[in-house]
Chain A
Amino acid sequence: MTGTVEGCAGPGFGSVPRKEDGRFVRGRGRFVDDIALPGMLHGAVLRSPYAHARIRSVDATAAESHPKVRAVITGETLAARGMAWMPTFSHDVAAVLATDKVRYQGQEVAFVVADDRYAARDALALIDVDYEPLPPVADARRSLDEGAPVIRDDIADRTDNHVFDWETGDAGATEALFARAAHVSECDLVYPRVHPAPLETCGTVADFDRISGKLTVHTTAQAPHAHRMLYARIAGIPEHHIRIIAPDIGGGFGNKVGMYPGYLCAVVGSILTGAPVKWVEDRSENLMSTSFARDFHMHGEIAADADGHILALRVSVLADHGAFNATAQPSKFPAGFFGVFTGSYDIAAAHCRVTGVYTNKAPGGVAYACSFRVTEAVYLVERLVDVLARDTGRDPAELRMANLLTPDRFPFRSATGWEYDSGDYPRALRTALDMVGYEEVRAEQKQRRVAFERTGHGPLTGVGMSVFTEAVGAGPRRLMDIMGLGMADGAELRVHPTGPAVLRLSCMSQGQGHETTFAQIVSHELGLPVDAVEVVQGDTDNTPFGLGTYGSRSTPVSGAAASVAAGKVREQARQVAAVMLEVAADDLRWDVGTGGPEGGSFSVKGVPGVSVTLREIAMAAHGGLDLPDGVEGQLAASTVYNPPNLTFPFGAYVCVVDVDPGTGEVDVRRFVAVDDCGVRINPMIVEGQIHGGLADGIGMALMELVAFDDDGNHLSASFMDYLLPTAMECPPWELAATVTPSPHHPLGAKGVGESATVGSPPAVVNAVLDAIGVRHADMPLTPAHVWRALQGRPIRPDIAIR
């Protein structure tokens, strides 16, 4: 049984303004491209125009004779340093600069270092690459065909484009339930390739000091410490000679987890020239070459009994991984956390099989706030439940309500082995349905439908929903690692003699507001004002080791670490206070206070008026006080937090759309989002995260898409072609919270950064399909897709529209 509390309790918590916004709203943020070091040079990348071609030769002579060019780096240059290939996060290698073949359009072929960025760009045109075009694999469904071009002929004995097979669940038990099911619904669904598309593209300023041998890299890194190890392994520079500095980051969404050739080339450029080298990619480079997201071709089956109780789920997936298997996820999870596809329902058995394939497309796959592919899992199950409702003539809300896990089932072990920590799903769905006025909206929908059938004119109204369960906050490290690095986070807290504190974190904000939320955690534990806690992140020389910010893991892991470190400091303070007040430590009572500059205080139990504040204790701890054995003095603690389990935030979303059947245009009229991420440290920041994720969901459901034509040309390489939603497409969000604390997180908090991105696409798609009365059509539901779905000829999204 999960305990459920209302509101978000606790000193220090609440919707305080974000500390970082003081600089952002003044235009004083400092991003990678704002950095200008003395003598800095500029890099530019030459990219392949072909999706698949053999490289006969690369002639850089003319470029090298450009008066402003300092160095031209080719695959050959890197091969001489053992750096032409780099390891990926998924047991594969990826080309840094192509030596043998290019394997996707936009792949890196050469890197120019010049005095300014104009000259660097000019010189790219002077590099002569002789390509022998090869037939590309542009359609994932043809990648395993007999005779398909073999993309990875760099790997010995490879004769096909197969990457891996992976399965989870109990095939036999699932089969048995399907065999006795009264009803089975099937559906093919594509979760098409999309891109995280942060407004700030990826970039770096690499600065190698020939005297000290130290490499400093200012870069867009969501995981600075993991990056340091990667540079050490790839470039052969000892780790203590590498400093990664991530300045302000303008959005990451998983795009800035990976290692990119441009980063490494800038390092080599700095080593070769002895000067700092800046490289910042442009929009097209970002969209074409850095980690994409999704690209799952799914076949789902759902079995139910005659009363509409869901018995079992069965799924097979073709996963398009692009030219290199570089998905950024815990290394033992080739399909990420897709295994949570049983979602929020009480399903006795489930089985899933995933086959990964190579195609002539950019690598990636796990990005864009996907919680390691929980997005795909939630989309699958929430779409299948709607299909089941349609096929069996049931209301989708009633069908969900009848099958949701109830609070008494937690902690719940799913049919695929995931242990959900806590949840109250029926309450979340009930709240969302009440907020939207479900009966009224359904009545209105009926009227609209009748009017349309009479007049032939729209709009048609649709209602869609999803009840999603997220799985965030990796590790534990026993199960989860990135390239052998266990997913546990360090934190260090020091209270200065006069009371303010500095908290050093391994994770790195890309807009999530860490400087505020983490200061609030310390404030919560020690009673200090939020403004009296400085949060240091993104500098490997000044922060403890940890795995970084992605997969909504900052609050679940680093947040827990901050809480534990602060608790240790508080216990040190208790020991010091005991000496100051000449009582036993056990006789002291902690009072967190009201967040004033004195901080919390210890008072003597049963002796009113005898107390010392944290500020007094801090000075005493640094002073001449005679401390007993085992109390070292000063107030500082560090910790490494190894999470016992993921946290499982959840929510219920209801979307109302109007569709113009004459044009296929969709108007998202309302969106109700009830989120439960446990205790909310800063509800305003949480709501901001949800706002962004809901916009993501509208984007993916209605317009975002990376598609390729038959030649493997990337058809979405600008913001005119890769459409992000604007305020015009977003309705006023109607948010609500329920609070079901995580039983294993010290603050009861769960991660929330990706909840809305994960939960919202199926709600929008379900609403559009509900409006037009179509069983299934794939995202993105652009006007053309909607109209063609109405005609009974849906468009396949991953290939070019013909």
Chain B
Amino acid sequence: MQVPAFFEYQRATSVEHVVTLLERFGPEARIVAGGHSLIPMMKLRLAQPELLVDVNDLHELSGISVSEGELRIGALTRHAELLASPVAGEHFPILHDAERVIADPVVRNRGTIGGSVCQADPSEDLSGVFTSLRAVAVVRGTGGDRTVPMREFFHGPYETAVRPAEILVELRVPLRPGAGSAYVKVDRRAGDWAVAAAGAVVSLDADGVVTEVGIGLTAVGDADFTAVEAEDLLRGRVADDDAFAAAGAAAAEHCRPTADQRGPVDYKRHLAGELTVRALRAATARAHRGGFPE
């Protein structure tokens, strides 16, 4: 029978209230937003928090805007809002690519961006997306805000840079005029976690040379969801199929997948390469050579 163990519940009235509660209850307190990961874990009693701090009333944590050269996504923004956001899609089509294949409409209506990245599931789509985008997380605690690059955010499966008495408030993505981006995923069924997935963000100069590139990988064992070697290999090269193939080979070589019912290691390694190539190809097709006048 799947019913959670006893827990207390508080509906937070402000971000400061959240931080105060987290500090008072310590590591046995958990923030609940969409609840799509935490509640099932509680029902299976894999998680038994003493206190749930409900942040769903904190509208200041929601919303998507462009400010100071950054796309800013509030932690409480729902997947469906990000998917429907023209400004997000205009700057970073990768966000819409990914949101289209995250779970299903019911989950996307309630699940939040912050909850997804803070859960730090090894197969989380948005993890690879935000690392490829070189996004920055804004985290608030008693000492105020601090920022953490998303490439340093993940400390292992289900572990992040967010400390027990802190809350993720926002993700900031630096705008890259003219950059192209894309996300490709293989799953066994609509709504399933990724067998493997890759995200790519590509900036090109007027000659089609890659000036900057971000490659995120999901579900293939990269602790920081990033194919750094592939990025290094690609930067400074003309964005063509040969370069993509080389980057794909590097991504495949350096990932560390484990076998599970989604697939054996050789297949996942193959996918890391194949999907890196496909994501790069799609991102490049969306990029504007020589940047893009704002």
What count of chain B residues pass the 8 Å CB interface test? 29
Nearest-CB residue, chain A, relative to B190: A728
- Contact across chains for A801 and B264 when beta carbons are under 8 A apart: yes
A784 to B220, CA, bound (A): 14
- Contact across chains for A122 and B261 when beta carbons are under 8 A apart: no
A720 to B259, CA, bound (A): 16
Contacts of B267 in A (CB 8 A): 664, 783-784, 787-788
A251 to chain B, nearest CB (A): 19
Given contacts A783-B188, A788-B267, contact A117 B1 (CB under 8 A): yes
Within 8 A of A (CB), among B1-36: 1-6
Contacts of B266 in A (CB 8 A): 788, 791
Given contacts A728-B190, A782-B188, contact A800 B261 (CB under 8 A): yes
A23 within 8 A of B: no
Scoring B residues 160 to 197 as 1 if CB is less than 8 Å from chain A, else 0, what string do you get? Answer: 00000000000000000000000000101111110100
Scoring A residues 621 to 664 as 1 if CB is less than 8 Å from chain B, else 0, what string do you get? Answer: 00000000000000000000000000000000000000000111
A794 to chain B, nearest CB (A): 11
A715 to B271, CA, bound (A): 23
B274 within 8 A of A: yes
Contacts of B274 in A (CB 8 A): 662-663
Scoring A residues 772 to 792 as 1 if CB is less than 8 Å from chain B, else 0, what string do you get? Answer: 000000000011100110010
Contacts of B104 in A (CB 8 A): 726
A560 to B5, CA, bound (A): 52
24 residue pairs of the A-B complex, CB under 8 angstroms, read A44-B1, A117-B1, A118-B6, A121-B1, A121-B3, A284-B44, A663-B274, A664-B267, A702-B189, A707-B261, A715-B261, A716-B261, A720-B192, A726-B191, A729-B190, A783-B186, A783-B195, A787-B263, A787-B270, A788-B266, A795-B264, A801-B261, A802-B259, A802-B264
- Contact across chains for B1 and A720 when beta carbons are under 8 A apart: no
Contacts of A791 in B (CB 8 A): 266
Within 8 A of B (CB), among A261-313: 280-285
A656 to chain B, nearest CB (A): 19
Scoring A residues 541 to 577 as 1 if CB is less than 8 Å from chain B, else 0, what string do you get? Answer: 0000000000000000000000000000000000000
Among candidates B5, B44, B263, residue contacting A784 with C-beta atoms closer than 8 Å: B263
Q: Which 9 A-B pairs give the minimum distances between C-beta atoms?
A: A784-B263, A728-B190, A282-B2, A44-B1, A784-B267, A723-B189, A782-B188, A121-B1, A663-B186
B262 within 8 A of A: yes
What count of chain A residues pass the 8 Å CB interface test? 40
- Contact across chains for B260 and A801 when beta carbons are under 8 A apart: yes
- Contact across chains for B5 and A122 when beta carbons are under 8 A apart: yes
A313 to B195, CA, bound (A): 39
A164 to B168, CA, bound (A): 61
- Contact across chains for B261 and A282 when beta carbons are under 8 A apart: no
- Contact across chains for A117 and B3 when beta carbons are under 8 A apart: yes
A172 to chain B, nearest CB (A): 44
Q: A residues within 8 Å of B by Cβ? A: 44-45, 117-118, 120-122, 280-285, 662-665, 702-703, 705, 707, 715-716, 720-721, 723, 725-726, 728-729, 782-784, 787-788, 791, 795, 800-802
A120 to B3, CA, bound (A): 10
Contacts of B2 in A (CB 8 A): 282-284
Contacts of A118 in B (CB 8 A): 3-4, 6
- Contact across chains for A665 and B186 when beta carbons are under 8 A apart: yes
- Contact across chains for B189 and A784 when beta carbons are under 8 A apart: no
Contacts of A117 in B (CB 8 A): 1, 3
- Contact across chains for A703 and B188 when beta carbons are under 8 A apart: yes
Contacts of A720 in B (CB 8 A): 192-193
- Contact across chains for A282 and B1 when beta carbons are under 8 A apart: yes
A121 to B1, CA, bound (A): 7
In this complex, which of A44, A121, A782 has the most chain B Cβ atoms within 10 angstroms of its Cβ?
A782
A705 to B263, CA, bound (A): 13
B217 to chain A, nearest CB (A): 15
A625 to B186, CA, bound (A): 76
A662 to B4, CA, bound (A): 43
Nearest-CB residue, chain B, relative to A717: B44
Contacts of A44 in B (CB 8 A): 1
Scoring B residues 190 to 223 as 1 if CB is less than 8 Å from chain A, else 0, what string do you get? Answer: 1111010000000000000000000000000000
- Contact across chains for B189 and A703 when beta carbons are under 8 A apart: yes
A726 to B190, CA, bound (A): 7
Given contacts A283-B2, A784-B264, A795-B264, contact A723 B188 (CB under 8 A): yes
A121 to chain B, nearest CB (A): 5
- Contact across chains for A120 and B261 when beta carbons are under 8 A apart: no
Contacts of A121 in B (CB 8 A): 1, 3, 5
A339 to chain B, nearest CB (A): 33
Given contacts A121-B3, A283-B2, A787-B270, contact A801 B188 (CB under 8 A): no
Contacts of B186 in A (CB 8 A): 663-665, 783
A796 to chain B, nearest CB (A): 11
Contacts of A120 in B (CB 8 A): 1
